[in-house]
A and B are shown apart, each in its own frame.
Chain A
Amino acid sequence: MASKLVESVVTFLDEPFANAVILGVKIDGHLLVEAVLIAAILFLLMQKSYQPEKKPLTQNEIDQLCEEWVPEPLHPPVTEKMKMKTPVLESAAGPHTTVDGKEVLNLASANYLGLIGHPKVKEACEATLNKYGVGACGPRGFYGTIDVHLDLEAKIAQFLKTPDSILYSYGLATCASAIPAFCKRGDILIADEGVHWGIQNGLYLSRSTVKLFRHNDMEHLESLLEEVMQQDRRKKKALVRRFIVVEAIYQNSGRMTPLDEVVRLKEKYKFRVLVDESHSLGVLGKTGRGITEHFKIPVEKVDILTAAMGYALASAGGFCTGSAKVVDHQRLSGAGYCFSASIPPYLASGSIAAIEIIEDNPDLLVNLRRNIITFRKCLASIQELVVSGHEFSPVIFLYLKRSVSPSSDVLVLQQIADQMLEKESVLVTVSRRSILDKCKLPVGLRLTVSAAHTEEELHAAAASLQRSVQSVLRNQ
């Protein structure tokens, strides 16, 4: 029955074309069905695809949304823990200073060579202040270049034996401008995880691919370099600019970067290297020329060298040096150079005087090194604390041997610092870490040694610290 029905339908459909011969091909049937199907497909294809109706928000709705929106407060609440009492100095921040009317030994100021208040610096600054006034009243491009700026740039270049150098008016802004001047999206930066915030900011602003290696861990650095190289080989990409970024002496730990190893790796993997010498200039090397002198590496091996002048040179601002190309490019591309007022001329004179003092008095460096070694030895005898950093580093970090948790450690260390100031008349500080800072190294007591301290003072300071630590820990 059913088959009969089907047969009759088929016969019906076949009818119009039954035994049709088209271009020599015999077609028997179903053509009509297929034509109908094609027509249906075409019809569906021509229909607009489904779209939900778009209704933009009406002005009333926007008004309502604006009404309802509740912003967060401008800043998170200030907790008791965030509030901090900072000591206020009533005299110059030299090896001895005055806090609350009391003379104290200053172990907080990075016045490594004791140049704060040096008569020669003072004389130079006073002369400049009388001649040029205080500020430069403009960026370098627009009559903000005073002859002393050019003198200082030449002096730095001559001191470090580089072709040229460029000044920035703030130490923190030096790396934050120098790195983005050379690295853009797509370039590769491999940096130590312990670098200070100025460098971190530069890495971030450059928008380059950033990889961090474990603090001062050369094996990890090499594995990252190897990884980059493998990737490049696989993808056969166009060459991008590649930099290793390290600090000579880390502001956050006092450790020294093994520059010889870094230079070997950079040459092997064809990277460039940026070294921040903020805490090593005027400290390392026989004549204070920094880490390259310490390792006896020619300075040309370091492609970009930056430093802040607010430490050993006891001035302010920062500079970047390297090949003529490195310096020239920043004169139009360094944001902190182009778009900021230049450094006050008297500070430039102060830096020139400071470099001349370093050149003329090599015994300053001998004193500094002797003090560092003496103080480190004294501190090592305090059983409750761990001393960190390289043996030549003037920045000394002290951590609790029996650490509980980072946050409670800080409180204990702060108590020690407070007691040092109140009872022992020694100014020391606990290193602070901003919540913006990506560095995960622990915070500790930070002590800085100066060539202007005497050995007796340092012995006494270590003994004071011993007493304070014991008294604070006893009361825990």
Chain B
Amino acid sequence: MAVTIPYFAALTTYFSYGVLFVFGHLRDFFRGFMKSDATPPEGYAPLCRDFEDFYTRRLYHRIQDCFNRPIASAPNAWIDVIERYTNDNNKTLHRTDKTRHCLNLGSYNYLGFAAQDEYCTPRVIDTLDKFAISTCASRAEGGTTAVHEELEALVADFVGKPAALTYGMGFATNSTTLPSLLGKGCLIISDSLNHSSIVAGARGSGARVTVFQHNIPEHLEEVLRQAIADGQPRTHRPWKKIMVIVEGIYSMEGELCRLKEIVAVTKKYKAYLYLDEAHSIGAIGKSGKGICELQGVDPADVDIMMGTFTKSFGSCGGYIAGSKELIEYLKSVSPGHLYATAMSPPAVQQVISALKLIRGEDGSDRGARKLAQVRENSNFFREELRKMGCEVLGDADSPVMPVMLYNPAKIPAFNRECFKRNVAVVTVAFPATPLLLSRARVCISAAHTREDLLRGLEVISEVSDMVKLKYMPPEEDVESYLKEKLL
């Protein structure tokens, strides 16, 4: 979906950045006269010297307090955010002993597994006792334990693939698997808004990378046809293989992938499809099986299914699921399997327990209720935000919903004002989004109660009025509605 910036917002955003850049450069100019410890020793180039460094010093440091806020509790529906103070104009921040109890609208805790759980935690602690926290060896060289095998069988069965392989980090799952499968003479056609881990993996593979317009299957088809017709650049030899990479839910847009149409295109043109379900697995679909289930796509049509355990399952790590041969091949090639320390056994057990709960294998309907709850909560919250007049991106059912801010000054304003009112929100700016498209991002969890959500909406509405975020006309007078509800 193309974000169209309102004309006035675009103008003021450009103007704000203009002012920030001019002042930043002015300050840099005067800094040049002062001897500071930032000057590198004679004969050395400065350690960092590009745009990023300027951005950090002159833009990011001004609003640093809005990011990396430490917490002193589990990242559940309510969190204790540690307050910080600064002595040097926000350049460095220090913790205080004070905390603030805030509603958490930021963590990827879709199913509410972040905190202690009556079913999961005892099992995790049992595994801690039995297997300790680390194997100190890679999976291939003596670091495979019985729980790893159990998890892999369970994941494969859950996503509907014959086999699966797990890694200790979601980012590394992408960045080590893609180079294992693709190389010179291969083409990667990646969605223009794919996650940084996919970009790292694609670059690390040495394959040629092109992008197609975000979530537009028609453009993908056009790019694919042209690529097959042209062949490799310069030599014009046919491509060895073409891999299309998409995500289930785009984490910065909250949008669902148009998977059905994309599968049709990749099938027609014999390209392979790599689906990253980092945010969608466990969060959407009737039984939590992700985007395939939601859109009625046969998992057999997706060649490689990747996902992470960090979000819905409240653990860490990632998986690749595919055919038996694919997994066998990856086991012999993938650096994440051969060299990296195996996933920590208690974290493995957390995923196993969460999966069992989702599938109802614990003998209760808690899992099913969680799934229904996250969907209901998300749709309610999104609808209310929209009615309020905020510009909300993303599709129904997606628990991720960005609210557009645009102006750089609105990032700290929105964040700090919400924080003052005990609501912890995430504001996202460069480098995670394009410079102009700053946004706040709300992540809804099954752990939120209706009261929590109403409280959040009330605060967001109040702050949005204050910092002028209601770019859209309100659909109905949501405030009176909210008051009515609260009374």
Contact = CB atoms under 8 A, between A and B. Distances in A.
Interface stretch (A116-124, A215-223, A362-370, A374-382): A116-124
23 contacts: A71-B272, A93-B137, A109-B137, A125-B133, A129-B125, A138-B107, A143-B71, A143-B75, A143-B104, A143-B424, A145-B69, A197-B339, A325-B48, A329-B47, A333-B52, A339-B171, A340-B197, A341-B308, A344-B316, A346-B133, A427-B142, A434-B180, A434-B339
Contacts of A431: 141
Contact of A75 (B225, B270, B325): B325
Interface string B67-80: 11111111110010
Contact of B45 (A125, A133, A241): A241
Interface string B176-215: 1001110000000000000111001001100000000000
Contacts of B406: none
A340 B170 contact: yes
A314 B50 CA distance: 38
Contacts of A328: 56
* Central interface residue in A82, A83, A147, by most chain B CB within 10 Å: A147
Interface string A53-85: 000010001100110011111111110001110
B357 to A, nearest CB: 13
A140 B43 CA distance: 35
A256 B197 CA distance: 32
Interface in A322-381: 325-326, 328-329, 331-333, 335-336, 338-341, 343-344, 346-347, 350
A389 interface: no
Contacts of B128: 122, 125-126, 129, 346
B136 interface: yes
Contacts, number: 379
B460 interface: no
Interface stretch (B25-33, B239-247, B289-297, B475-483): B239-247
B346 A332 contact: no
Contacts of A111: 134, 136
A197 B432 CA distance: 27
Contacts of B280: none
A335 B142 contact: no
Interface residues of A, number: 117
Interface in B129-176: 129-137, 139-146, 148-149, 168-172, 175-176
Contact of A142 (B45, B107, B328, B334): B107
Contacts of A314: 132-134, 136
A270 B41 CA distance: 9
- Nearest 10 A-B pairs (CB), nearest first? A310-B341, A108-B142, A170-B169, A340-B171, A341-B310, A239-B45, A82-B332, A270-B43, A339-B196, A134-B350
A176 to B, nearest CB: 7
A61 B333 CA distance: 38
A447 B82 CA distance: 45
B109 interface: yes
B15 interface: no
A170 B168 contact: yes
Interface stretch (A11-19, A198-206, A465-473): A198-206
Contacts of A77: 325
* Central interface residue in B128, B134, B197, B432, by most chain A CB within 10 Å: B134
A194 interface: no
Contacts of B117: 133
Contacts of A2: none
B418 interface: no
A87 B200 contact: no
B261 interface: no
Interface string B320-347: 0000011011111111101111011111
Interface in A126-149: 126, 129-138, 140-147, 149
A419 interface: no
Interface of A: 57, 61-62, 65-66, 69-78, 82-84, 86-94, 106, 108-112, 116-117, 121-122, 125-126, 129-138, 140-147, 149-150, 169-173, 176, 182, 184, 187, 196-198, 201, 204-205, 238-242, 251, 270, 272, 303, 308, 310-311, 314-316, 325-326, 328-329, 331-333, 335-336, 338-341, 343-344, 346-347, 350, 427, 429, 431-437, 446
Contacts of A197: 335, 339
B347 A92 contact: no
B106 A142 contact: yes
B340 A171 contact: yes
B107 A344 contact: no
Contact of A137 (B238, B314, B432): B314
Contact of A344 (B67, B76, B95, B344): B344
A71 B242 contact: yes
Given A133-B115, A142-B441, 6 more contacts: A93-B145, A137-B75, A170-B168, A347-B347, A432-B338, A436-B335
B471 interface: no
B113 interface: yes
B229 interface: yes
B141 A432 contact: yes
A142 B428 CA distance: 9
